[in-house]
């Protein structure tokens, strides 16, 4: 009788041990499956983020400028001032009043050549940032702001200082701190990190 009881206890212990091992194995398999699923989800998230980043950069303000032949001088200036990356990778949004090639050709040659030198890149960056607003402002919003402010709307720029926007007929005119004027000749070039308005003159802060 004692032998039979002992046998039954041993058999029961074996069943319980096997059951515990099976449960442990299932838990390990479940944990491994969850770990693999988590890794796959993270991989997919990284791929999606990289895809969105590439899409953003390919449609960024910098990319739009590089695609526009009449903005080649501006692109060169942005590269010289080490600002091209800012308008390629930063989400913004920004509004850029972009002088076309003809606008730069009207700047005093000696002044422009001096600004494009390596040692003067900070000064060049300051000039370029004076053309940038830390917000997305479409042409219709700008016209509305001008009309809501008695015909003159003061714009604060990333480079410090202000530009005054006004209307001359249907055209938006920008007046810099020196009283020089630039006209918006192409509006609302949409980009992933803002909007570009092409202007016909380079505007400058008051020295």
Secondary structure of 100-155 in HEC code, one letter for each residue: CHHHHHCCCHHHHHHHCCHHHHHHHHHHHHCCEECCCCCHHHHHHHHHHCCCCEEE
| pLDDT class of 199 with cuts at 50, 70, 90 | very high
Distance CA 190, CA 197 (A): 9
Mean residue pLDDT across the chain: 84
% of the chain residues with pLDDT over 70: 82
Residue 4 has pLDDT above 70, yes or no: no
Distance, CA of 186 to CA of 65 (rounded, Å): 13
Residues 203, 97 contacting (CB under 8 angstroms) = yes
What the chain holds in terms of domains, given with CATH numbers, is 59-199 (2.30.180.10)
pTM above threshold 0.85? no
Least confident range from 28-37, 105-114, 192-201: namely 28-37
């Amino acid at each position: 009788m004692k032998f039979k009881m002992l046998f039954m206890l041993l058999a029961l212990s074996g069943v319980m041990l096997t059951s515990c091992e099976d449960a442990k194995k299932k838990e390990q398999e479940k944990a491994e499956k969850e770990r693999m699923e988590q890794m796959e989800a993270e991989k997919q998230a990284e791929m999606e983020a990289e895809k969105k980043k590439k899409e953003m950069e390919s449609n960024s303000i910098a990319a739009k400028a590089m695609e526009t032949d009449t903005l080649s001088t501006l692109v060169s200036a942005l590269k010289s001032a080490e600002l091209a990356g800012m308008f390629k990778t930063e989400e913004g949004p920004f509004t850029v009043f972009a002088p076309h090639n003809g606008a730069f050709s009207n700047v005093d040659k000696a002044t422009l050549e001096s600004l494009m030198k390596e040692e003067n890149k900070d000064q060049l960056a300051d000039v370029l940032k004076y053309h940038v607003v830390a917000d997305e402002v479409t042409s219709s919003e700008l016209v509305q702001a001008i009309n809501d402010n008695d015909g003159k709307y003061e714009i604060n720029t990333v480079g410090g200082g202000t530009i005054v926007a006004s209307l001359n007929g249907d055209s938006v005119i920008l007046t810099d701190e020196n009283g020089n004027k630039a006209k918006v000749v192409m509006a609302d070039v949409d980009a992933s990190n803002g909007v570009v308005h092409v202007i016909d003159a380079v505007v400058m802060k008051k020295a």
